């Protein structure tokens, strides 16, 4: 596996876990960490046995406490723009990633932390998870997609309140407003692994196309979204996996998918 300083990559097939590892700075994202997460995602794709990714934070206290504030005073506006670009590229990479990506939010997920979690396919939270977009406290606005993705997930009025006040959203409220899918008491990573294990039993192409249809469809008017669904349906229907899946059902046995 590649050399990483700011993340720990662990492969436990069918899941891979990317742990942001800067606990002393509450796993705040600096440019190097953003690059390493991106590299780890590339490396995982080379491993055929991996069927899903979990992103989480090292230590007990934080998922990601945002962008690294200590780097900001020295940043020129050009460097700031570059940093935003790299952060936004990473969020797009996660959204477009061919495998499911679960955010296991194990503590503070502020600013860039909430934004990175929002780019994942869904979020499981520990009871001590804290979300928020506190950028206005720093005199800035969210820069890794928060104004766009939070709005799509929790609706414009709720997103507006969260972003304009910068207040903290605890796990129970995150669950209530649909930001987190579950609060996991106990083994958060174990629960995320179980979900990846479950998904890994399904047709790999079907999972990939379904993610693609949901993600791209969110941005489209209904007619265009249905057209996208139709074309992906046609593609997956042409696969060997579809033949096997239907045959296995009729023969009352488990399917043996090949991802073809």
Q: Does 138 bind ligand DAK (CB under 6 A)?
A: yes
Instruction: Name which position in 4, 63, 144, 257 contacts ligand DAK (CB under 6 A).
Output: 144
Q: Does 111 bind ligand DAK (CB under 6 A)?
A: yes
244: annotated active-site residue:
no
Q: Does 28 bind ligand DAK (CB under 6 A)?
A: yes
Inter-CA distances, 204 with 31, 50, 190, Å: 33, 11, 21
- Cα separation, 18 vs 160, whole angstroms: 30
Q: Does 75 bind ligand DAK (CB under 6 A)?
A: yes
Considering the candidates 36, 95, 115, 229, report the single residue annotated as catalytic.
115
Region of 49-57, 77-85, 91-99, 184-192 interacting with ligand DAK (CB under 6 A): 77-85
Q: Does 68 bind ligand DAK (CB under 6 A)?
A: yes
Inter-CA distances, 241 with 47, 209, 228, 232, Å: 20, 13, 20, 14
Half-sphere CA count of 123, side-chain side, radius 13 A: 30
Q: Where are the alpha helices (DSSP H) in the chain?
A: 31-45, 77-96, 112-119, 146-154, 156-165, 171-176, 188-200, 204-217, 222-237, 240-250
Let me know: does 50 contact 99? Beta carbons within 8 Å: yes
135: annotated active-site residue:
yes
Q: Does 131 bind ligand DAK (CB under 6 A)?
A: no
Q: Does 112 bind ligand DAK (CB under 6 A)?
A: yes
- Read off the tokens for 85: 């670009």
- Read off the tokens for 135: 């950028």
The CB-of-250 to ligand DAK minimum distance in angstroms stands at 52
Q: Give the CB-nearest residue to ligand DAK.
A: 111
Let me know: does 53 contact 100? Beta carbons within 8 Å: yes
Instruction: Name which position in 9, 17, 18, 26 contacts ligand DAK (CB under 6 A).
Output: 26
3 state SS of 192 = helix
Q: Which helix (H) or strand (E) holds 9?
A: strand 7-12
Region of 63-71, 152-160, 202-210, 229-237 interacting with ligand DAK (CB under 6 A): 63-71
The CB-of-78 to ligand DAK minimum distance in angstroms stands at 10
Let me know: does 36 contact 4? Beta carbons within 8 Å: yes
Site pattern 167..206 for ligand DAK (x: CB under 6 A)? ----------------------------------------
How many residues does the structure list for the chain? 260
Region of 34-42, 140-148, 174-182, 215-223 interacting with ligand DAK (CB under 6 A): 140-148
Indicate which residues carry an active-site annotation.
115, 135
Write out the residues near ligand DAK by the rule CB under 6 A.
25-26, 28, 65-70, 75, 80, 83-84, 87, 108, 110-112, 134-135, 138, 140, 143-144
């Amino acid at each position: 596996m590649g050399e990483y300083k700011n993340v720990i990559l662990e492969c436990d097939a069918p899941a891979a876990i990317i742990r942001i590892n800067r606990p002393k700075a509450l796993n705040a994202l600096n440019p190097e960490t953003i690059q390493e997460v991106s590299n780890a995602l590339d490396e995982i794709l080379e491993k055929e046995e991996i069927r899903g990714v979990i992103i989480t934070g090292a230590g007990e206290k934080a998922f990601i406490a945002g962008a690294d504030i200590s780097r900001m005073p020295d940043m020129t506006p050009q460097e700031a723009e570059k940093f935003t670009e790299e952060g936004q590229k990473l969020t797009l990479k996660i959204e477009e990633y061919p495998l499911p990506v679960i955010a296991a939010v194990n503590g503070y997920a502020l600013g860039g932390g909430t934004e990175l979690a929002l780019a994942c396919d869904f979020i499981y939270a520990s009871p001590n998870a804290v979300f928020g977009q506190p950028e206005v406290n720093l005199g800035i606005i969210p820069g890794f997609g928060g104004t766009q993705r939070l709005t799509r997930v929790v609706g414009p009025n709720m997103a507006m309140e969260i972003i304009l006040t910068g207040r903290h959203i605890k796990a129970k409220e995150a669950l209530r407003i649909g930001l987190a899918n579950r609060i996991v008491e106990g083994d958060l990573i174990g629960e995320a692994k179980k979900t990846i294990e479950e998904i890994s039993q399904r047709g790999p192409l079907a999972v990939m196309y379904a993610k693609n249809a949901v993600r791209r469809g969110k941005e489209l008017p209904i007619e265009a979204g249905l057209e996208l669904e139709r074309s992906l349906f046609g593609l997956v229907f042409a696969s060997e996996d579809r033949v096997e899946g239907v045959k296995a059902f009729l023969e009352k046995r488990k399917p043996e998918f090949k991802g073809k």
